[in-house]
Structure 1
Amino acid sequence: MTLALAASNAFISQTLYSTSLKAESGDPPNIVLIFTDDMGYGDLSSFSETPIKTPNIDKLAAAGTRFTDFYVSQAVCTASRASLLTGCYANRVGLAGALNHTSTNGINADEELLPELLRSQGYATAILGKWHLGMPPAFSPTRNGFDEWFGIPYSNDNTKYHPVLSDSMPPLPLYDGEQVVETDPDQALFTKRFTQRAVAFIDQHRDRPFFLYVPHPMPHVPIFASDEFRGKSATGLYGDVIEEIDASVGQIVDAIDRNELTDKTLVIFANDNGPFLSYGTHAGSSGVLREGKLTAFEGGVRVPAIMRWPGKIAAGRTCDTPMMSIDLLPTLCSLAGAELPRKQIDGVNIEATLRGESNNMPHESLVFYSGSELHAIRSGRWKLHFPHPYLTPRDDLRADGKPAGHGKLKPMSITASGVEGIASRHGYRVEQLPLSLYDLSNDIGETKNVATDYPEVVLALTELAEPYREELGDSLTQHVGKAIRAAGQRTSQTDEHSPR
């Protein structure tokens, strides 16, 4: 079955399923999606052993379901967010990798994003935090389905606080709508300010359905905590940052409950990719998972996810069914009674899995790219890595917010591309991985390559990967994807077009 045919069949089944569920479920739910930046799988006590205290997130997990095998399509900021909001592998929409303040491309205006689809059903929509799908005004969130935006357009290290390239960076803009209201704002107040706006948005829209997206800039380096939390954790500044995010989750959930919206609101907590390990004590932990951000190992692409919706999603449950952030768009559209995008998507409706009504695998396979390179594929218990270079932190990790090897790193421009350029800027070394098969049911840490023991599994997964290469490309094997859609390009005309 081709990916296109599979998507067509999924669309038909999702439409029928959505119609029947809509008739039974009554009013569409409010949706609150809290998304952290570069947090580790090992940073939450509800997922790993950690001295960091996260009582509010733990409470959310106790009242909802922990999804232990939840993935992002790429372990880097822009690509992860593009997948989240389009329901597509990032490569399909032309946004693999990460944008910065020099980027002239962004999300194409022809893509139908989750907030646009929900707004068509009467939802109020807001994004409070980091956007990272293109520079305003051409690619502003307010031109892509959000009624309200208060936040930053790209990662918080694109500023004078960049651990390596501070001299090359312009002031960081803070937007309210399409207006820059501050430059180089106090990042220690980011979590607090975005939380305050989130609470106000919930209070203001308690009488209509709403979609609230809170993509926190933290704990992406450089990390900051407010005075209320700085120095309070047992694990230094990084722990302070996570514990402030935990408090933010508590305040947002309290606002939902105080407004008597508990049973009407689906709360989702997840993050964009694994930790930026080369930053030592200013980075999170992958726990038992291998590696972190910028890799296709589990520590890069598997993220902790929690969902609470009383009466719809079971409390105190753990689900280990593999799923991906691309599945949220079709699922949330189904819950809201919204149409799916007209263009092909890769996600599927996982509502039956969320409710615990199905143990079936939503996907026969999931793939993990690094830029334009197809690095790995998972099917059931098996994960196959194709031969590829990967990043692993140098041994000389630091405790001052600088990357490993700072002072010895090669000078690189911010536009340097490729794995060597990333390694040179961020304190990594490059290793080469051979063809490797891992049994995740017994080896979640990807420590034992069993490719020679299961040649039939290697063959089966290799064959499953071919349609992805044909559609989405793979520069490692010189495949040019036939179904890649162009990203948007900034021009004077795109800067002038009206909000949609």
Structure 2
Amino acid sequence: MNMLRTTLTILLAAVLAMPLLTAAADRGRPNIVIMLSDNLGYGDLGVYGGGVTRGAPTPNIDQLAAEGMRFTNFNVEAECTPSRSALMTGRMAIRSGTTRAIPVPGLPVGLAPWEYTLAEMLSDRGYNTAIFGKWHLGYVEQRLPLNQGFDEWWGFPFSTDVAWYPEAVGFDPALFAAPRLYQGRKGEELKALEPYDASVRPLIDGLIAEKSVAYIKAHARDDEPFFLYIPWSLVHHPSLPNPGFEGKSGAGRYGDAMIEHDHRVGQVLAAIREAGIEDNTLVIYASDNGPDRAEYPYVGNSGPYRGYLGTVHEGSIRTPMMIRWPGQVPADVVSNELISINDIFPTLAAIVGGRVPDDRVIDGVDQSVFIRGEQAHSNRESLLFFAGEHLMAVKWRQFKIYLHGESPEIDQRGYQELWAPQAYNLELDPGEYHDLALQNLWLLAPALKPVFEYVHSVEQYGLILPGGKKPEVFETSVPFFSDAALDTTMGAIKQQVMKDMVKSKIDEIRAYFSGAEGGQQE
């Protein structure tokens, strides 16, 4: 009898565990959780030189980094909406018409329904998909998460600073509707919830964490995997922490908000662990761009890099990023290889066997072999950077070449013509102080190669204009520095010599890419 009872107990336990074991055995389709912080500085987290030294320890995020691969050369777009667009599509925002972070509510801007999103790709592979938090990729119904591949959404479609609009002197709700939170499921009517105002702002990430934890618990034993996208509101201005975290850091509101942010990330990680799905859940943590300067000192820290949100300096476009997938991604590894937020889409597609569209340009590259530790180097050698519609700079290996300049105030947003390119070795000069272009004109060749490839791709596939429904093909030209800028009187003989050398080098490169004089056609 005792033996029979023991046997039945073992069988019952096995039956109850079968859904979980089935999910865990499906290594080709892991659960995927992407957490995206908002305006987090490169130097804010402990593992990136911040944390305790900034008065705000980040033990949960630091532990996540130790349990996976941490990247020190992860690159995003210059602003919020462009980065989120790149994450969702694997395409530079310039191609999708999503180059600006402040689209006007009610107008058909944001991510076009034509785009094939990360959520749609995973949904096509049988994933349940959900987003809790900030969307910022469109305000009209056709461009909201439930129309872009997500099964469930709770959150807000705009940037966090709109919560402060009703507090502004002269604010007129008749001209600008008070922002609200929304909730819905695919196939159901989207519900407008309570206003998202200054009273809700400090509570919002606690609610995002609560929704995320509940979702993980509800879907941990499903036969099919899930994709959970958590775009946090913290630490975006106004960085107001939950009242329970006020004064926790001794470093003001921003420090308190950092401590809360780390705690919220920890809540999600704990839910994954307690659900018993840690080994089959791929977790990505990153930031959409660097910190703003909205209200110093209550802003983030860019570490050794210059520049802030809206620029293409390293302090804006280089952010923390880490991946954990036990048994698949090696633990406690730090890489300075060049990778991009565009790479996440094709990398996850390769991991789960998803479809990557072949009727459009996908700027991301598959990094799945690299992140598994099966090769030493990234599959990426170069990357373009835009500020709005302007092509500003190119990264190639450890070098960064500016084709257009920022405002004379290097930490401010702006755009100006350059009389000649600027070049920096980011490994030796992370602050971008020492222009090496004059001594290294050879850098123009590898720098302009991806520029010409981009131009050719636009001529072939077109671009989606802001508010557009699909790409439009039109003639373009190489977005380099203007002839007028080159013809400006430069004064010094050294500058004149450089001008002649630069023009000569451009002619050679153009000839190479046009097939002239025996060159090759790309």
Residue aligned with 1:53, SS: coil
Mapped pair 1:379 → 2:396: yes
Give the aligned partner of residue 293 of structure 1.
Answer: 309
Mapped pair 1:284 → 2:300: yes
| Partner Cα distance (1:438, 1:287) in 2 | 18
Question: Quick one: which amino acid aligns to residue 145 of structure 2?
Answer: P
Give the aligned partner of residue 498 of structure 1.
Answer: none
Give the aligned partner of residue 366 of structure 2.
Answer: 349
| Partner Cα distance (1:253, 1:182) in 2 | 28
Question: Quick one: which amino acid aligns to residue 471 of structure 1?
Answer: S
Question: Quick one: which amino acid aligns to residue 231 of structure 2?
Answer: P
Per-residue deviation, 1:471: 3.4
CA deviations 1:443-499 (Å, max 9, x no partner) are 122121111111111343134322224435xxxxxxx89621345559xxxxxxxxx
Per-residue deviation, 1:235: 1.3
Superposed counterparts of 1:7-406, under 5 Å: 26-49=27-50, 50-51=53-54, 52-72=56-76, 74-98=77-101, 99-161=103-165, 167=171, 169-177=176-184, 178-185=190-197, 186-207=200-221, 208-344=224-360, 345-390=362-407, 392=409
- Which stretch shifts more, 359-368 or 448-457? 359-368
Residue aligned with 1:34, SS: strand
Structure 2 unaligned runs (5+)? 1-24, 185-189, 470-522
Contact 2:399 2:426 in 1 (8 A): yes
Contact 2:404 2:415 in 1 (8 A): no
Greater RCO (CA < 8 Å, at least 6 residues apart) = 1
| Partner Cα distance (2:227, 2:299) in 1 | 30
| Partner Cα distance (2:219, 2:156) in 1 | 23
Question: Quick one: which amino acid aligns to residue 268 of structure 1?
Answer: I
| Partner Cα distance (1:143, 1:79) in 2 | 19
Question: Quick one: which amino acid aligns to residue 424 of structure 2?
Answer: Y
| Partner Cα distance (1:162, 1:312) in 2 | 48
Distance 1:176 1:393, change over 3 A: farther
Structure 1 unaligned runs (5+)? 1-23, 395-422, 473-479, 491-500
Distance 1:362 1:242, change over 3 A: same
Contact 1:43 1:284 in 2 (8 A): yes
Residue aligned with 1:182, SS: strand
CA deviations 1:222-257 (Å, max 9, x no partner) are 221111111111211001111111001111011101
| Partner Cα distance (1:149, 1:388) in 2 | 39
| Identity score, percent | 35
| Partner Cα distance (1:158, 1:342) in 2 | 38
RMSD over aligned Cα, in angstroms? 2.3
Distance 1:36 1:351, change over 3 A: same
CA deviations 1:400-457 (Å, max 9, x no partner) are xxxxxxxxxxxxxxxxxxxxxxx7xxxx687776621011121122121111111111
Distance 1:121 1:165, change over 3 A: farther
Residue aligned with 2:322, SS: strand
| Partner Cα distance (2:431, 2:445) in 1 | 22
| Partner Cα distance (2:276, 2:461) in 1 | 49
| Partner Cα distance (1:166, 1:471) in 2 | 47
| Partner Cα distance (2:408, 2:226) in 1 | 40
Contact 1:392 1:431 in 2 (8 A): no
Per-residue deviation, 1:163: 8.7
- Which stretch shifts more, 166-175 or 328-337? 166-175
Distance 1:107 1:372, change over 3 A: same
Distance 1:71 1:486, change over 3 A: same
Question: Quick one: which amino acid aligns to residue 449 of structure 1?
Answer: D
The structure with the larger Rg is 2
Give the aligned partner of residue 450 of structure 1.
Answer: 436
**What's the TM-score, normalizing by structure 2?**
0.77
Distance 1:217 1:276, change over 3 A: same
Per-residue deviation, 1:158: 2.2
Distance 1:258 1:130, change over 3 A: same
Distance 1:166 1:298, change over 3 A: farther
| Partner Cα distance (2:417, 2:47) in 1 | 33
Residue aligned with 1:228, SS: helix
| Partner Cα distance (2:122, 2:348) in 1 | 8
| Partner Cα distance (2:387, 2:269) in 1 | 35
Residue aligned with 1:192, SS: helix
Mapped pair 1:460 → 2:446: yes
Aligned residues: 427
CA deviations 1:273-320 (Å, max 9, x no partner) are 010024212211101011111011111111100111111111111011
- Which stretch shifts more, 215-224 or 51-60? 215-224
| Partner Cα distance (2:335, 2:310) in 1 | 26
Residue aligned with 1:366, SS: strand
Distance 1:447 1:165, change over 3 A: farther
| Partner Cα distance (1:304, 1:393) in 2 | 22
Question: Quick one: which amino acid aligns to residue 78 of structure 2?
Answer: A
Residue aligned with 1:388, SS: coil
**What's the TM-score, normalizing by structure 1?**
0.81
Residue aligned with 1:196, SS: helix
Contact 1:383 1:439 in 2 (8 A): yes
| Partner Cα distance (1:93, 1:133) in 2 | 11
Question: Quick one: which amino acid aligns to residue 379 of structure 2?
Answer: P
Contact 1:156 1:172 in 2 (8 A): no
Distance 1:110 1:162, change over 3 A: same
CA deviations 1:110-144 (Å, max 9, x no partner) are 21101111011111111111101111322120111
Residue aligned with 2:121, SS: helix
